[in-house]
Amino acid sequence: MRINDTTPKQDGFHMPSELAEHKCTYLLWPERPDNWRNGAKPAQKAFRQVVEAIAKHEPVVLGVNQSQYSHVLGMNMKNVQVVEISNNDSWVRDTGATFVVNNNGDMRAIDWAFNGYGGLVNGIYFPWDLDDAIAAKMTAIENVDRYRLDDFVLEGGSIHSDGEGTILVTEETLLSEGRNPDKTKEEIEQILLEYLGAEKVLWVPKGIYMDEDTNGHVDNIVQFIAPGKVILAWEDNPEDPQHERSQMAYNYLMSETDAKGRHLEIVKLHVPNVVTITKEESEGIDSVEGTFPRNEGDRLPASYINYYNCNGAIILPLFNDPHDQAAVETLQQCFPDRVIETIPLAREILLGGGNIHCITQQVPKA
Amino acid sequence: MRINDTTPKQDGFHMPSELAEHKCTYLLWPERPDNWRNGAKPAQKAFRQVVEAIAKHEPVVLGVNQSQYSHVLGMNMKNVQVVEISNNDSWVRDTGATFVVNNNGDMRAIDWAFNGYGGLVNGIYFPWDLDDAIAAKMTAIENVDRYRLDDFVLEGGSIHSDGEGTILVTEETLLSEGRNPDKTKEEIEQILLEYLGAEKVLWVPKGIYMDEDTNGHVDNIVQFIAPGKVILAWEDNPEDPQHERSQMAYNYLMSETDAKGRHLEIVKLHVPNVVTITKEESEGIDSVEGTFPRNEGDRLPASYINYYNCNGAIILPLFNDPHDQAAVETLQQCFPDRVIETIPLAREILLGGGNIHCITQQVPKA
């Protein structure tokens, strides 16, 4: 049922941390050949690696267009429910429901408006009608009630919650012209607090350099590793444009306190070396008017921070890069009790414009 | 997960009676204009009446094509989950999963092959690929394991189980040329017993007169009202072709015992007066080559026996007919503890070729 007259905060619900226990994880199967090279076959291989890595630790619900349903069902993957969810693309972090819980063990869902990352201003594909319906469909499968915001555009990758009242966002995304140009920063903050059941929003200025698809989603540059503790994508080289962005985030986060009044502890995690699209990769994509182009030589927003926290594990993108090993070690130090599941094929996900965090969405254990 | 090497019987599972407690009921939303008149709008009204009647008593999962998703979601019906399930038509009794349970409270699903009621021999629409995938999709939503029979065609409306080892079928359907022409009656019986976890199959000769769509499904002529007790569609008038069919069923059932060795008690329920398609009704259908025609004057297989048992209620089709009242009274006598929910719009469902039992599929409470 759709709830029309109240907000999650009014009803005693809040968004838990991704680090809290999950019921399951949703993903969507990649398919569109104008975004995924070679008919999406390399991406499908990478997504399957992610699905199977998560399914070792918690149940996976995999949403698939009818066109790929038989094919994916036939993989007969263990601990994976293959459901039909028509989609324009496979970024369930951004299009899926945001689940909120209360203290009685109940769960509800937030169904934000979705407009393809900027609508007719700077959206990256058209149409986005199927993607805007994904949250409702997930809600139906989970059989919970749903708050729907018809007039507030938000992608799940543009918010993090520590589960204790603090929300992390970037100004670059949330104040971008293609989302909610009719709303002030204060109005946007108020909506976030009301719907996420939170007390304070931390506004990191910018996301990862060249994260143009998403206008700099927070989930590619910084993540909570515990309440009061974040991990930040870092670039040592002052000549690289990422250095200034990371430094701005660092300075901002050091200057702030969270909802509980804590100063934040910041772990730095160096980004991989610059990743650019090869000629072969670019040529594998069906170039289409109206879909974000993937040209030879384009720099991709590669970052280890786009990892996913599932029950007992971290699902970490690797890039066949000298920094890979440090990323594994740093995260293992942050999470001594979690398995670090690495995804060597992550480059294929990055080629589509995001990474592991972008293609996953947790359902909390209520 | 698909189970490949065993059968439900080997694994200790059986199909419970429809009268046992349900977890929920599935329906599919009608849409195709070559089967449902006036763009399926009158049928949608009738289906909604059925959905809301059942939802008073148990949860409903309503599968909808993407094309109607927003519309149906917007109805915001109480106790109804609106999920996406692409379908060729809306007979979930026939296309949906058959759920089986064991004594440990576990549930699994049987996914029979579906070929549009007779494939290229005498199927009633083409293609049927979406319908053949429905059982798998229901299974995924219910998150249970699935037995798939690639080489055995069966519709759920062609079987009844008393939950105590006895299965009711008609020879007319199960031995029809378009289902499993490569299998003998004995082979078919063996498959039913193995998959439904049963001991005995009762073969009623024929279904309702002019039930040509389904070749005489059992669920339009006879139903269990308890183990050892059935209710049979009856026609007093010896001039009407239904009389002989009902008499044959009666004689057969009187001559048999069930799996427990019981003689069957038979309650007769008179069919409504002959229902034929009007000119206006026929003209509302988009006539299409390859889809079963609905012509003016065609006799429809109207029967009260196509009612549905849900938790605490009977969902009963009415036809604005002099026999309606007796049907309500007879069923109320059979089920003094159940509410008789009547569906006055049932004619609209009948116009599409079936009735309430055909458009519902129970998920047992495991």
Judged against a pLDDT cut of 90, whether residue B157 lies above it is answered with yes
Nearest to B130 among A66, A82, A130 (CB): A66
Q: Mutate which of A66, A77, A80, A82 to disrupt the B interface (most B C-beta within 10 Å)?
A: A66
By C-alpha distance, which of A94, A81, A56 is closest to A340?
A56
CA nearest to B220, candidates B168, B163, B262, B266: B168
Q: Is A240 on the interface with B (CB under 8 A)?
A: no
A76 CA to chain B: closest CA distance, Å? 6
Q: In this structure, are residues B224 and B17 in contact, taking their beta carbons and an 8 Å threshold?
A: yes
Q: Using the beta-carbon criterion (under 8 Å), do A84 and B130 form an inter-chain contact?
A: no
> Using 50, 70 and 90 to split pLDDT, how confident is the model at B306?
very high
Query: How much is the pLDDT for A124?
Result: 96
Optimal mutation site among A81, A128, A150, interface B, most CBs of chain B within 10 A? A81
Residue of B nearest to A76 (CA): B1
CA-CA distance, B104 to B301, in Å (whole number)?
A: 40
pLDDT in tens, A48-74: 999 999 999 999 999 999 999 999 999
Q: Does B66 touch chain A (CB under 8 A)?
A: yes
Query: Among residues of chain B, what percentage have pLDDT more than 70?
Result: 100
A366 pLDDT band (50/70/90 cuts)?
confident
Cα-Cα end-to-end distance for chain A: 18
CB contact under 8 A, A141 and B136: no
CA atoms within 13 A on the CB side of A154: 27
Q: Does A83 contact B1 at a Cβ distance shorter than 8 Å?
A: no
Q: Is A81 on the interface with B (CB under 8 A)?
A: yes
Q: Hey, of B58, B83, B134, B144, which one would you mutate to test binding to chain A, going by the most A CBs within 10 A of its CB?
A: B83
Q: In the prediction, which pLDDT does B63 show?
A: 98
Selecting from B73, B78, B140 the residue whose C-beta is nearest the C-beta of A82 gives B140
Q: Strand, helix or coil at A269?
A: strand
With CA atoms as reference, the chain B residue closest to A87 would be: B66
Alpha helices in chain B (DSSP H): 41-55, 66-73, 92-95, 119-122, 129-132, 134-142, 171-174, 185-196, 241-255, 279-283, 324-334, 346-351
In angstroms, rounded to a whole number, what is the distance separating the alpha carbons of residues B366 and B353?
32
Which residue does chain A place closest to B74, by CA atoms? A2
B358 catalytically annotated: yes
Of A66, A76, A140, the CB nearest to B86: A66
Residue in A with minimal Cα distance to B146: A76
Best mutation target, A83, A114, A139, to test chain B (most B CBs within 10 A): A83
Q: What is the pLDDT of residue A44?
A: 98
Q: What are the structure tokens assigned to A299, written together?
A: 């720099």
Active-site residue identified among B24, B310, B334, B358: B358
User: What is the rounded average pLDDT of the residues B157-179?
Assistant: 98
Spell out the residues 6+ positions from residue A354 whose beta carbon is closer than 8 angstroms to its own.
A91, A93, A157, A213, A214, A220, A306
ipTM score for this prediction? 0.93
Question: Is it the case that residue A302 has pLDDT exceeding 90?
Answer: yes
Max distance between CA atoms of chain B, in angstroms, equals: 54
pLDDT in tens, A197-230: 999 999 999 999 999 999 999 999 999 999 999 9
Strand order in A200-204's β-sheet? A160-161, A166-170, A200-204
Residues 6+ apart with CB under 8 A from A204: A168, A169, A170, A171, A218, A221, A222, A248, A249, A252, A253
Tokens of B209: 């007169």
Read off the pLDDT of each residue in A259-268 and give the average, rounded to a whole number.
98
Q: Which of A76, A82, A133 sits opposite B70 (nearest CB)?
A: A133
**Nearest Cα residue in chain A from B86:** A66
B99: β partners: B109
CB-based contact B137 A86, cutoff 8 Å: no
Residue B59 — very low, low, confident or very high, per pLDDT cuts 50/70/90? very high
A200 and A165 Cβ atoms separated by less than 8 Å? yes
Alpha carbons within 13 angstroms on the beta-carbon side of residue A165 total: 9
Contact A224, A230 (CB under 8 A): yes
For chain A, say whether B104 makes contact (Cβ under 8 Å).
no
Range of A95's domain? 2-364
Q: Which residue of B has its CA nearest to A86?
A: B66
Contacts of A2 in chain B (CB under 8 A): 73, 76
Identify the pLDDT of residue B348: 98
Which residues pair with residue B153 across a beta bridge? B113
Three-point CA angle B246, B251, B254, nearest 5°: 120
| Residue B265 CA: distances (Å) to CA of B109, B210, B219, B255, B308 | 30, 26, 18, 11, 20
pLDDT at B38: 98
Alpha-carbon gap: B195 to the closest alpha carbon of chain A (Å): 21
Q: Is the pTM of this model over 0.80?
A: yes
Please list the residues that pair with A81 across neighbouring strands. A61
- Predicted confidence at residue B319, as pLDDT, reads 98
CB A160 within 8 A of CB A122: no
Across the interface, whether the CB atoms of A83 and B140 are under 8 A apart is answered yes
Q: Which of A70, A81, A137 sits opposite B83 (nearest CB)?
A: A137
Contact B83 A140 (CB under 8 A): yes
A141/B137 CB distance under 8 A: no
pLDDT of residue B366: 86
Closest by Cα among A293, A342, A357 to A37? A293
Q: What is the mean pLDDT of residues A111-137?
A: 97
pLDDT of residue B161: 98
The total number of structural domains in chain A stands at: 1
A73·B141 Cβ contact <8 A: no
| Spatial CA neighbour of A179 closest among A193, A194, A169, A164 | A169
CATH of the domain at A175: 3.75.10.10
Site of tokens 């969810």: A85
| Residues of A acting as catalytic residues | 358
> Which 131-170 residues of chain B touch chain A by CB within 8 A?
133, 136-137, 140-141, 143
Report, as an integer, the average pLDDT of A337-365.
98
**Is the predicted pLDDT of residue A336 greater than 90, yes or no?**
yes
Helix (H) or strand (E) holding A252, with range, is helix A241-255
pLDDT at B110: 98
Cα angle for residues B84, A73, A90 (degrees, 5° grid): 60
State the DSSP string of B192-251.
HHHHHT-SEEEEES--STT-TTTTS-GGGTEEEEETTEEEEEE---TTSHHHHHHHHHHH
Measured at the CA of B186, the angle between CA B184 and CA B189, to 5 degrees, comes to 110
Give the SS3 label for residue A122.
helix
CB distance B84–A84 less than 8 Å?
yes
Are the C-beta atoms of A208 and A22 separated by less than 8 Å?
Answer: no
> C-alpha angle A144/A146/A148, rounded to 5°?
165
| B59 and chain A in contact, CB less than 8 A | yes
